Amino acid sequence: MAAYINRTIGFGDSLVTPRSPLSDEQISSPLQVFGQAKKQINKIFVDVQDYVADASERMIDVNKLCPDVINENELKSMLDYRSKVKGICEVLTRDHMKVAFFGRTSNGKSTVVNAMLGEKVLPSGIGHTTNCFLQVEGSQTGEAYLVTEGSNEKQNVESVTHLAHALNYEKQLNEKELVHVYWPKDKCSLLRDDVALVDSPGVDVTPHLDDWIDAHCIDADVFVLVANAESTLMVTEKNFFHKVSTKLSKPNIFILNNRWDASANEPEFLDQVRKQHMERATDFLVKELKVCTPEEAVSRVFFISAKEVLQARVKERSGFPLNSGALADGFGARYLEFEDFERKFEECISKSAIKTKFLNHSQQGKHLVKEMLKIMETIHNRSQEQTHLKMCQKKEFQEKLNFIEQQLISITNQMKMKIHQMVDDVEDKVSKALNDEIRRLSVLVDEFNLPFHPEALVLNVYKKELHSHVEAGLGSNLRARLSTALAMNIDQSQREMIDKMSTLLPEDKRNINVTNPKREPFEVLYRLHCDNLCGDFHEQLEFKFSWGLSKLVTRVSSLANWSRNQSRVLIVNIFGCF
């Protein structure tokens, strides 16, 4: 933006025409340079506004997801920048070149404005006429209307005289208030090129000069002092511009010695009076205000007759020749000097407006872009740092995960070996204990006292009860001998597993109380299934004996114990498989 401004304006006296789509033939007025610059800077700020809006939306989204990447202050700053850029864009669309006309009462300020417009728009005439500030600018709708300060109501432009004329008995406005007069752009090239002309009450009618300057002059690009060529510069006129120069750095001031047509009555003093006015005006601009050099001052002082120019232009619009009517001698020279003033005025106001408005906006835009760039770079660097940190953490976690996986595999293998050892140990212990108990089966058999009967149905019941008795007895003995040792071995193995797994946890998590899974108290169950083990056993209970005498005596003598012995034979035969 600054580069464009530097290409658009010169910081000396001359205006450098920018490279724009318009050719040299198309740019018929220096004021069009302002219009082209306005379009260009508007386009730049629209792009900046889109960029800031897009960046703000993305930052809002990132802030919701990752508040540690974009903090609230950065987000707030970006939203503020978006609001500022929007405000600049709105101002740019309203920006126009502004020229303020000042002078003593009845010096012809309103007549000068009307002459530049080519029509009698503002109230003018003898005496104190303009009662308030009147700003004439181009109408966007092509209609002529006015709007008073603090109101949006469009009024008929004919009421300008009623509102602003100081001779009106019903004074509705004071000298500080501003009335916007909108005049069709196609009627005046100045208005078409975004120039606003501000007419003011006389500087000698109120002591509130500071209020005037602050309210209506701070943003003016050019000031035109309309003096009376029949007198000289007055102290009140000088004091006003001294106050302006204290508030603005080297304001652009033109001095119009109006009513120069009076010099036609005394042609013998024409050159002397002109030289006197030029010397005093030059001293005022160069030595007192110090706003320009002596060479520049010569191009800032003019001798005109605004009334003649207005009359001539009004007649010309009505179809009459430019120099028709009763005009004083030398009108042609005065008219050319008025046109020379308009030409130099257009060059000055265009250059000044670009400096005061666009250069300031471009500097603000550059500052905003730089600040936004700082924020975006800070966020970018922070995101890069966090990305690097996350990558390092990811790598560290991946290494830890690989280590834990390896440790889990190692611990799993160790636990499998431990389980195999436990199984082998249990098998050894159970086998040894079971062998010992089988050798003591006679004790269990002696404890079984169910009556025996060889009938098949009773025998099956007897065998079933015998199996149950032996299995319960063996199980009870095995529990007594093995359960405690096996339970202690299993608990020890579980604690060992827990200790090994705890070493894989982070140090700050190792103090967690790790408990065994919730379960019933540990109990070793022994299921021998004696009925299945003896399923293929078939008892033989037939009574056989020899008829020898000795055998007969023996069998008779033991007849009383036959039933008991028979049951023992059955038990021994059943459990012989053990």
pLDDT in tens, 381-392: 988 998 899 999
How many CB atoms lie under 10 A from the CB of residue 563? 12
Q: Which of 264, 260, 257, 223 is nearest to 240 (CA)?
A: 223
Q: At residue 514, does pLDDT exceed 90?
A: no
Q: At residue 224, does pLDDT exceed 90?
A: yes
Q: At residue 426, does pLDDT exceed 60?
A: yes
Directed axis angle between helix 360-439 and helix 72-94, to 10°? 150
Contacts of 168-174 with C-beta under 8 Å, sequence gap 24+, read: 168/131, 171/131, 173/131, 173/132, 173/148, 174/131, 174/132
HSE-CB at 481 with a 13 A cutoff on CA atoms is: 17
Least confident of 205-209, 433-437, 464-468: 205-209
How many residues in total does the chain contain? 578
Beta bridge partners of 134: 179, 199
Continuous segment of H or E residues that includes residue 223: strand 222-228
> Over the chain, what is the mean pLDDT?
77
Residue 341: pLDDT band with limits 50, 70, 90: very high
Query: DSSP state, 69?
Result: T
User: What three-state secondary structure class fits 548?
Assistant: coil
Report the C-alpha gap between 124 and 141 in whole angstroms.
26
pLDDT digits (tens, 9 = 90+) for 70-113: 888 888 888 888 888 888 887 777 778 889 999 888 899 989 99
Looking at residues 360-389, what average pLDDT do you find? 87
Q: At residue 312, does pLDDT exceed 50?
A: yes
Which residues lie closer than 8 Å to 408 by C-beta, 6 or more apart? 504
Report CA 408 to chain centroid distance, whole Å.
Answer: 47
What pLDDT, on a 0 to 100 scale, did the predictor assign at position 276?
92
What pLDDT, on a 0 to 100 scale, did the predictor assign at position 324?
64
Report the C-alpha gap between 429 and 127 in whole angstroms.
135
Report the C-alpha gap between 340 and 324 in whole angstroms.
21
Residue 354: pLDDT band with limits 50, 70, 90: confident
Looking at residues 440-465, what average pLDDT do you find? 76
Is the distance from CB of 493 to CB of 422 less than 8 angstroms?
yes
Residue 55: pLDDT band with limits 50, 70, 90: confident
Select the more confidently predicted residue: 248 or 21: 248
For residue 394, give both structure tokens.
Answer: 């990811």
What pLDDT, on a 0 to 100 scale, did the predictor assign at position 535?
65
Burial class from Cβ neighbours inside 10 Å (0-12, 13-18, 19+) for residue 213 reads buried
Least confident of 44-58, 198-212, 368-382, 542-556: 542-556
Residue 398: pLDDT band with limits 50, 70, 90: very high
Angle at 399 between CA 398 and CA 405, to 5 degrees: 85
Query: DSSP state, 300?
Result: T
Give buried/exposed letters for 72-94 (b at 16+ CB in 10 A, else e). eebbebbeebbebbeebbeebee
Residue 4: pLDDT band with limits 50, 70, 90: very low
Report CA 468 to chain centroid distance, whole Å.
Answer: 84
Q: At residue 163, does pLDDT exceed 70?
A: no
Least confident of 179-183, 252-256, 497-501: 497-501
Q: At residue 244, does pLDDT exceed 70?
A: yes
Is the distance from CB of 55 to CB of 372 less than 8 angstroms?
yes
Beta bridge partners of 155: 146
Looking at residues 353-380, what average pLDDT do you find? 84
DSSP string, 152-221: ---EEGGGHHHHHBTT-SS--S-TT-EEEEEEEGGG-HHHHTTEEEEE---TTS-S-HHHHIIIIITT-S
Q: Of 321-335, 405-419, 523-537, where does the model show the most confidence?
A: 405-419
Is the distance from CB of 194 to CB of 35 less than 8 angstroms?
yes
For residue 220, give both structure tokens.
Answer: 């003016």
Q: Which of 40, 48, 11 is nearest to 366 (CA)?
A: 48
Least confident of 127-141, 225-239, 531-545: 531-545
HSE-CB at 404 with a 13 A cutoff on CA atoms is: 12
The percent of residues in the chain predicted with pLDDT above 90, rounded, is 16
Work out whether the CA dihedral 261, 267, 271, 275 comes out positive or negative: negative
Q: Of 216-220, 282-286, 331-335, where does the model show the most confidence?
A: 282-286
